[in-house]
Amino acid sequence: MQFCFDNLKWTRQPKSYIIENGKIKVETKPFTDLWQRTYYLFQNDNAPVLQMQTDERFFSFTVKTHFESKRRFDQCGVVIYLDSENWLKASVEVENAKFQRLGSVVTNCGYSDWATTDIPADVKDVWYRLSRRNSDYLIESSFDGVNFKQMRICHLVKGKEKITFGIYACSPEDSSFLAEFSNFDFGECKWKEHK
């Protein structure tokens, strides 16, 4: 297994992007997001998503994000985007000058959830590790790239065969910011079998 930049494809393109020296820089467009129905009855399916395809049933994907987000809900992170009604994402979302929300969203059959924890507003670097065991997934995060903590374990109804996974960045309100992705790793599953 290897993370290959040549295998990446945009589901939707951002305002601009650069891929060079093992890094991907993405500039977001305003009013872009991924969310389906729950609570707000709001639906938005226009966030830029850059992914590769795999039929590997057991793997871990790790990436570092650096972000200079500006406005409420600005976000960037990891994603498995299967179609408009089936996907998961993990990111930091701007909330206010005091704190941000480190969280994840799982969308199955057209309904999204949102699980979060508050982190300081001055955090600008987060590593994510996405692990797959068949159609079950583990999302972890780290502030140093070494010590990872579990964010959630989840199931994707349509996530049992070939999937697409990668990165995303978006600005749900009238904003645009620069997100940088680096330290890509795609390899052996670090999420061990429960015994």
Give residue-wise pLDDT tens across range 112-136.
999 999 999 999 999 999 999 999 9
Instruction: Give which of 66, 59, 54, 22 is closest to 164, Cα–Cα.
Output: 54
Weakest mean pLDDT among 43-47, 68-72, 125-129: 68-72
* pTM of the complete model: 0.95
**CATH architecture classification, 5-187:** Sandwich (2.60)
Handedness of CA 60, 99, 108, 49 (dihedral sign): negative
| Residue 26: partners with Cβ closer than 8 Å, 6 or more residues away | 14, 16, 17, 48, 50, 76, 167, 169, 178, 179, 180, 181
Handedness of CA 2, 139, 12, 111 (dihedral sign): positive
The reported pLDDT for the residue numbered 130 is 98
Q: Are 185 and 167 in contact (CB under 8 A)?
A: no
Give the pair of three-digit tokens for residue 146.
């070494």
d(Cα 95, Cα 121) in Å, to the nearest integer? 8
Whether the pLDDT of residue 41 is over 90: the answer is no
d(Cα 188, Cα 11) in Å, to the nearest integer? 26
